[in-house]
Structure 1
Amino acid sequence: MAKRVVIYLDGGARGNPGPAGTGYLIFDEEGRLLAREGRYIGFTTNNVAEYTALVQALDRARGFEAQEIAIRSDSELVVRKLNRSYKVRDKKLKPLNERVRILLYPYRKVEIQHVPREENREADELVNQAIDEALQE
């Protein structure tokens, strides 16, 4: 059981909308990798892919029973919506945003931070690998 987990996540669609994927990495407070996944999610938009990556990562993070969570994303839109700087108006994003709020509720402390793409390179690679593998099949 980790006291605190840190999630790096990314989602993307080629063509926007287009073939899309998600990727995330979850670390404990010592920086040890706890989970890593990339997944193809079909044909959708970048924003839906970003939110879907977050939902997937939060679903996985529940198993670590942490009390605190830190989320790192290079999507300014998602970060600002989660920090409530922007309202969620898109009907495709509203249910995903609600799911995120439910998944974040048990944590005593939630930190959501925008990071430069360079700091999120591995999550981005997971997205691209998932899309590439799906398109080769």
Structure 2
Amino acid sequence: MENGEGPTERTARKDMTPDSAEQSDEIHWTLHVDGSAGKTGHGAGVVLHGPEGFTLEYALRLDFNASNNEAEYEALLAGLSLAMKLGAGELKVYNDSQLVVNQANGTYEAKSPRMKRYLQKVEEKLQRMGKVEILQVPRDMNNQADAL
């Protein structure tokens, strides 16, 4: 994405045609988040693109045994916190986790106590922010956050 290309509404939303996506309101802030848990460690990657063309990359190492879903939520929370601190108004969030995206959007119910707590933290952050849209993208469209 160094050349400025990345997921757009055309790639993230299948119900839009390329022409209608170009006519939609431009979102100046985009956030890509990804979490990972495995034998070699647990971590999260955050990539925030700002309105003036800057990009911030943030990698975190989790110092607790996290599941993949918990690592995904940690990435989302870290990214939302960063965007809030920088005063992001309208924000588009891209994540490849079907579970986290659908829970955050209210499509899936969080069932386990841990997932409920994570979801509650995300909802609290979203209430303090402007317009935030959370979209699921294929893993290969989230490479920069995944690499972190």
State whether TM-score is above 0.5. yes
3-state DSSP of counterpart to 1:25: strand
Counterpart residue number, 2:58: 37
Counterpart residue number, 1:115: 137
Amino acid at match of 1:5: W
Q: Using the alignment, how far apart are the partners of 1:70 and 1:39 within structure 2?
A: 21
Q: Using the alignment, how far apart are the partners of 1:38 and 1:66 within structure 2?
A: 19
**Correspondences of 1:42-81 after superposition (within 5 Å):** 42-81=64-103
Whether 1:84 and 2:106 are equivalent positions in the alignment is yes
Q: Using the alignment, how far apart are the partners of 2:140 and 2:58 within structure 1?
A: 19
Q: Which of structures 1 and 2 has the larger relative contact order (alpha carbons within 8 angstroms, sep 6+)?
A: 1
Compute the TM-score of the two structures, normalised by the length of structure 2: 0.75
Q: Using the alignment, how far apart are the partners of 1:31 and 1:98 within structure 2?
A: 32
Q: Cα distance, 1:30 vs. partner?
A: 5.1
Q: Using the alignment, how far apart are the partners of 1:4 and 1:63 within structure 2?
A: 16
Unmatched 5+ residue regions in structure 2? Answer: 1-26
The one of 35, 39, 43 equivalent to 1:11 is 35
Amino acid at match of 2:125: L
Alignment length, in residue pairs? 121
CA RMSD across the alignment: 1.7
Whether 1:103 and 2:119 are equivalent positions in the alignment is no
Q: Is the strand fraction higher in 1 or 2?
A: 1
Identity %: 32
The one of 41, 44, 49 equivalent to 1:27 is 49
Q: Using the alignment, how far apart are the partners of 2:101 and 2:42 within structure 1?
A: 19
Unmatched 5+ residue regions in structure 1? Answer: 127-137
Q: Cα distance, 1:19 vs. partner?
A: 2.8
Greater C-alpha Rg: 2
4+ runs of 1 displaced by more than 4 Å?
A: none
Q: Using the alignment, how far apart are the partners of 2:129 and 2:82 within structure 1?
A: 14
Compute the TM-score of the two structures, normalised by the length of structure 1: 0.81
